[in-house]
Structures are given as C-alpha cells and as structure tokens.
C-alpha cells in the first residue's frame, strides 16, 4: 500500500501497482520492483549475511536485557525498536573474526545498557563467599541516591540474568546473591551500568569480566 505525502500531487512511499515510491535525499523517487539476483553471493556478501544473522540470534538470546537496557534509546530513535537498535550496535561494534575468518560475538565489546550517563570506571567482579562482589569508582556526579547500579549476567550456555537498581551508584561496591551459582558453576559475563531513576537515563554498560 502506498501512502501519499504532500497531497494528491505530491510523492508517495510504498507500493502502488507495480512500482515503489520512496524519498531519497529529499527527492521523491519511483522505481520498479527489484529483480532477484541470479549471481552467486560474493565472499563479502556471505560474511555480511553471517554477521547479521549472528547479531540477530545473539540479541534474541539476551532479549530481556535488551528490552530493559535500550528502552531510553528507543524513545530517541523513532521507527526503530529496542531490538533493532541493539542488533545494529552489536553488528557494528561487537563482532570480530577468528583465525579462520569466522565471525563471533566479542562479549567484551557488547553494550547491554546504552545511554548518555558516564559509564562506571575501575570495575571489578569476583565470586567470593557465595556472593558476586562488585566494585567500581564512585562518580561525584552521581552521588544522589536517585542514581542506581544495574547488573546484567550473560552466558552463551545458560539463561541471562538482569538485576535492576542493586545499589546506589555512590556506594562503590556491593554484594549480590545469585542463587543459580549455588546449584551449578559455569561462566557468566558481567556488565554493570548507572541508572538515573528520576530522569530516565542509563550509561553505557561497563564490562567486568567473566566469573
């Protein structure tokens, strides 16, 4: 279905009959239907498709975290949802290739929370006395109790875990009970980020390593 823009004599976007309308650099353009290419894909095209698939699968895996961590980013990007924004960021920033040129998700580069606040610095995570102990350098700008710390745990083998407002950002350290760790031990990648609970804003997440 085509949608008229600027009245009946204006351009349109979408499909009308056998043609498509769209806006290109401020100009209304009409084209015919694209023909499916019969040429075999190039290695670069195959690699591009593999990266798109990889980022999509990964973002679906961490979707509960994405829905939380990209909620404020979504409000600034009309037409693109949380999942699409997360997928785009993973595709651009968090995919590397191994020695065989096979793409993989570099979990150190993944940002599970995104926003305009300053990210935590000097972050550390360790498993001690049955608790996940986190530490970071308190930021003087975030000394009000409205600024909280969020925690995300990502494993490629087990379900993800999200903990919201686990401590005041000004505290500089906290200990979190993770019941699943008491039942079985496997690797979790740890991310933390600040949250302005009053104005509704996050920082980009900071990667704390693997526990």
pLDDT tens digit sequence for 174-185:
999 988 776 666
Q: Quick one: tokens of 184?
A: 């079985």
195 and 130 inside one domain:
yes
Residue 26 predicted with pLDDT over 70: no
Residue 15 is assigned to a structural domain of this protein: no
**Nearest to 58, CA basis, from 90, 103, 82:** 90
pLDDT in tens, 115-172: 999 999 999 999 988 899 999 999 999 999 999 999 999 998 888 999 999 999 999 9
CATH number for the domain that contains residue 133:
2.60.40.10
Domain count, the chain: 2
pLDDT, average across residues 49-53: 94
Q: How confident is the model at residue 206 (pLDDT cuts 50, 70, 90)?
A: very high
CA dihedral 109, 112, 116, 120 (to 10 degrees): -70
Q: Decide: 23 and 12 in contact? Cβ < 8 Å.
A: no
Q: Does pLDDT of 3 surpass 60?
A: no
Q: Whole-angstrom Cα distance, residue 151 to residue 146?
A: 16
Mean pLDDT, range 99-123, rounded to an integer? 96
Give the range of the structural domain holding residue 62, as residue numbers without chain letter.
43-105
Rounded to 5 degrees, φ, ψ at 138 are -60, 135
Residues 133 and 91 in one domain: no
pLDDT per residue as tens digits for the range 29-43: 776 666 666 778 788
CA distances to 69, 128, 162, 168, 178 from 136, rounded to whole Å, are: 19, 16, 18, 11, 19
Asked if residue 126 is part of any domain, the answer here is: yes
* 18 within domain boundaries: no
- Whether 25 is covered by a domain: the verdict is no
Whether 140 and 173 map to the same domain: the answer is: yes
Q: Give CA separation, 89 vs 14, 26, 45, 174, 186, in Å.
A: 27, 27, 19, 29, 27
For residue 179, give the nearest of 149, 209, 159, 157 by alpha carbon: 159
pLDDT band at 78 (very low <50, low <70, confident <90, very high): low
pTM above 0.95, yes or no: no
| Residue 197 is assigned to a structural domain of this protein | yes
Lowest mean pLDDT among 47-51, 167-171, 172-176, 188-192: 47-51
Residue at 111 is within a domain: no
> What pLDDT does 184 receive?
65
What does the pLDDT read at residue 25?
65
Task: Say if residue 94 is in the same domain as residue 127.
Answer: no
Instruction: Find out whether 194 and 149 touch, Cβ atoms under 8 Å.
Output: yes
Span 85-94, average pLDDT: 96
Q: Is residue 203 part of a domain?
A: yes
Q: Is residue 70 part of a domain?
A: yes
């Amino acid at each position: 279905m085509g949608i008229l823009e600027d009245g009946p004599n204006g351009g349109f976007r979408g499909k009308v009959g056998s043609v498509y309308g769209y806006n290109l650099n401020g100009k209304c353009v009409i084209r015919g239907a694209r023909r499916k290419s019969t040429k075999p894909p190039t290695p670069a095209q195959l690699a591009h498709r593999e990266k798109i698939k990889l980022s999509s699968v990964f973002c679906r895996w961490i979707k509960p975290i994405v829905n939380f961590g990209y909620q404020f980013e979504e409000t600034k990007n009309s037409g693109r949802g949380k999942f699409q924004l997360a997928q785009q960021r993973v595709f651009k920033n968090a995919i590397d290739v191994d020695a065989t040129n096979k793409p993989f998700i570099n979990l150190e580069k993944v940002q599970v929370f995104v926003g305009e606040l300053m990210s935590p610095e000097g972050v550390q995570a360790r498993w001690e006395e049955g608790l996940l102990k986190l530490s970071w350098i308190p930021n003087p700008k975030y000394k009000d109790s409205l600024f909280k710390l969020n925690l995300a745990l990502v494993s490629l083998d087990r379900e993800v875990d999200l903990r919201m407002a686990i401590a005041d950002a000004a505290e500089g350290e906290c200990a979190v009970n993770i019941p699943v760790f008491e039942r079985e031990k496997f690797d979790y990648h740890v991310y933390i980020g600040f949250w302005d609970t009053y104005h509704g804003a996050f920082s980009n997440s900071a990667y704390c390593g693997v526990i």
